[in-house]
Amino acid sequence: MKILSIESSCDETAAAVVENGRTILSSVVATQVEEHKLYGGVVPEIASRRHCEAINGVVAEALEQADLSFDGLDAVAVTYAPGLIGALLVGVNFAKGLSLATGLPLVPVHHLRSHIASNYLAHSELKPPFLCLVVSGGHSHIVEVKSYTEMKVIGKTRDDAAGEAFDKAARTMGMPYPGGIHLDKAAESGDPDSFRLPHPKVDGAPYDFSFSGLKTAVINQIHNASQKGVNLPVNDLSASFRKAVVDSLMENFIKAAESLGYETLVLAGGVSANSLLRKRVAEECEKRGWRCYYPPLELCGDNAAMVGSQGYYEYLAGHTASADLNARPTLNIEKNYG
């Protein structure tokens, strides 16, 4: 089964063709990073306009790379939630138009489910059930993946997401957008024990996260040093901050796995590219004799191949939509379409 998939939830216009949820036949991503770098973050109106300009060419290139026409496809999948509403609408309306024009079934896909599915493309043996840590610029969730389309959130951030904390701390240190990548690189040559930073916990919710206080602590240190004319060692501060964030993520993730009896752990989302997080989950799983999986770096960020993978399983579960499909800026990962 071959699915054309479309992703436009933030600042990447992407299209792909995926076969049987596991094989990438083509994958095209048009990024807007350089333009948004001018503003230090994603400007929603600009993102929406660029999606409108890019989507037709991106879809055409995905079909060309896969050496397919619409006659060779079985369905069209599209990210419909969550994300920037204007950006989502571009992809959703384009996909609806294709579905109406070709008669292909329309499959709505949740963005976070797609990130989890990126692992199916890289690891053919991976199947639910497993426990997944989904970490990105807007989300930090611990998710029980009971089946390909049945999921339960058992832990989440109460304020900032881990990726958001990385980006804001990096921006305060003077690093360009997207800051999390630059902070990770700087941290590689720093001393993670040079600064004492808080490790926030949420009372009464052992698997939930809170990164707002940690982010504020590092920003205050930078501002205080600046007011005194002191130059902080950026690499050491980056390493200490990265360690504090990863410690918080891993403590709750391992605790949840032990409590719930999971021995297969999975990382997903943009922050799954963080080198320390990947190293730590591998070490913790090896120590316990568990299995761990994370996507290759090229599938950590937003792409349409992951949408095609999850779209395959949504289609098999009967989760298809009609022409009244609308975009949703927020939506619980547990909720199936329909």
Query: Cβ-count burial of 195 within 10 angstroms (0-12 exposed, 13-18 middle, 19+ buried)?
Result: buried
Q: How far apart are CA 232 and CA 329, in angstroms?
A: 39
Tokens of 145: 């993946």
Instruction: Please give the domain boundaries of the chain with CATH numbers for all domains.
Output: 2-116+299-316 (3.30.420.40), 128-295 (3.30.420.40)
The pLDDT tens digits for 287-319 are 999 999 999 999 999 999 999 999 999 999 999
> Which parts of 173-211 fold into alpha helices (H)?
179-187
C-beta separation of 135 from 162 below 8 A: yes
The pLDDT tens digits for 216-271 are 999 999 999 989 998 899 999 999 999 999 999 999 999 999 999 999 999 999 99
Q: How far apart are CA 6 and CA 165, in angstroms?
A: 28
Give bridge partners of residue 29 from the DSSP assignment: 14
C-beta separation of 157 from 211 below 8 A: yes
Query: Cβ-count burial of 49 within 10 angstroms (0-12 exposed, 13-18 middle, 19+ buried)?
Result: middle
Q: Give the three-state DSSP class for 76.
A: strand
The pLDDT tens digits for 192-207 are 999 999 888 888 899 9
Which residue is associated with the tokens 């989302």? Answer: 269
Check pLDDT > 90 for residue 134: yes
The pLDDT tens digits for 103-124 are 999 999 999 999 999 999 999 9
Per-residue pLDDT at 198 = 86
- In this prediction, residue 189 has a pLDDT band, given cuts at 50, 70 and 90, of very high
Quickly count: other Cβ atoms within 10 Å of residue 337's Cβ: 19
Pairing mode, if any, of strands 75-81 and 106-110? parallel
Per-residue pLDDT at 40 = 87
Confidence (pTM):
0.95
Which residue is associated with the tokens 């720093």? Answer: 190
Own/partner pairs for 247-250, CB < 8 Å, 24+ apart?
247/199, 248/199, 248/200, 248/209, 248/211, 248/214, 249/133, 249/135, 249/140, 249/162, 249/209, 249/277, 250/277, 250/280, 250/281, 250/284
The pLDDT tens digits for 19-33 are 999 999 999 999 999
Pairing mode, if any, of strands 291-293 and 264-268? parallel
Give bridge partners of residue 237 from the DSSP assignment: none
What is the percent of the chain where pLDDT is above 90?
92
Give Cα 207 distance to the centre of its chain. 19
C-beta separation of 40 from 138 below 8 A: no
